[in-house]
Amino acid sequence: MKRHFSMLRDFHLADWFTLGNAFCGTGAIFAAMRFLQEGVVRDLLVGMALIPLAFVLDALDGRVARWRQSASTLGRELDSLADVISFGVAPAALAYACGLQGGWDWIVLSYFVGCGVSRLARYNVTAEQLSGGGDKVKYFEGTPIPTSLLLVVVLAMAAVQGALGPDVWLGVVQLGPWQLHPLVLMFALSGSLMISKTLHIPKP
């Protein structure tokens, strides 16, 4: 007989590391929102610190799954959904909180998240195709989405130096009806590298 929370009882140990990854990403988003409400830089820095922790948990879930030989389709899907939160939406939210709030910034940050979602979906489809033939994925097409951790590091350095809001690094330019902060272009570059078909990154 099916019982309440039976799905949770079926989770493997690695899946709990994955959920921890998602928990950190969600916490980072809430921290960005709290900073926008209260203006306390410490809240923003706490949110940024959660992204490296999410990165560690993301690395551990795969190792734990291989160690316990418990890799599953559910685990792969959980991992992708958690990565979208922690390395897609959360960095974009932190960037917005740092002051990248112009109309063009919104478009670039949304593009970045869309690239991350597309990158993960493509990887899942590729992994399924290769697993059908008994092969392993030898390389990533495009940069993995956790590389967005580097963007958060840049934002954290800016926050520590007080380069937030109107003082954000590289200033702001007016392009037509909307503003663009040149710093946001690093998100455009990161997103474009994620969806690249020609860039191959060896998979460890």
What is the per-residue pLDDT for 135? 46
What is the per-residue pLDDT for 97? 97
- Residue for token pair 């410490």: 42
Q: pLDDT above 70 covers what percent of the chain?
A: 79
Dist. CA 96–CA 175, nearest whole Å: 18
CB 163 within 8 Å of CB 169? yes
What is the per-residue pLDDT for 14? 74
Q: Which of 179, 33, 161 has its CA nearest to residue 96?
A: 33
CB 75 within 8 Å of CB 10? no
Dist. CA 67–CA 63, nearest whole Å: 6
- Residue for token pair 């109309």: 103
- Residue 161 neighbours by CB under 8 Å, 6+ apart: none
- The bridge status of strand 173-175 relative to strand 178-180 is antiparallel
Dist. CA 48–CA 72, nearest whole Å: 30
Query: In the chain, where are the structural domains located?
Result: 10-202
The pTM (predicted TM-score) of the whole model is 0.87
* Range list of H helices, the chain: 6-9, 13-38, 41-67, 73-84, 90-98, 103-132, 149-160, 185-194
Burial 190-200 (b: 16+ CB within 10 A, else e): bbebbbeeeee
- Give the three-class secondary structure for 169: coil
pLDDT digits (tens, 9 = 90+) for 123-142: 877 765 544 454 456 667 88
Query: pLDDT tens track of the chain, all 204 residues?
Result: 455 555 555 666 677 888 999 999 999 999 999 999 999 999 999 999 999 999 999 888 766 656 555 556 666 788 889 999 999 999 999 999 999 999 999 999 999 999 999 998 888 777 655 444 544 566 678 899 999 999 999 999 999 999 999 999 999 999 999 999 999 999 999 999 999 988 877 766
- The bridge status of strand 200-202 relative to strand 173-175 is unpaired
What is the per-residue pLDDT for 13? 66
- Determine the topology of domain 10-202 in CATH: Four Helix Bundle (Hemerythrin (Met), subunit A) (1.20.120)
Cα 87 to chain centroid, rounded: 1
What is the per-residue pLDDT for 32? 97
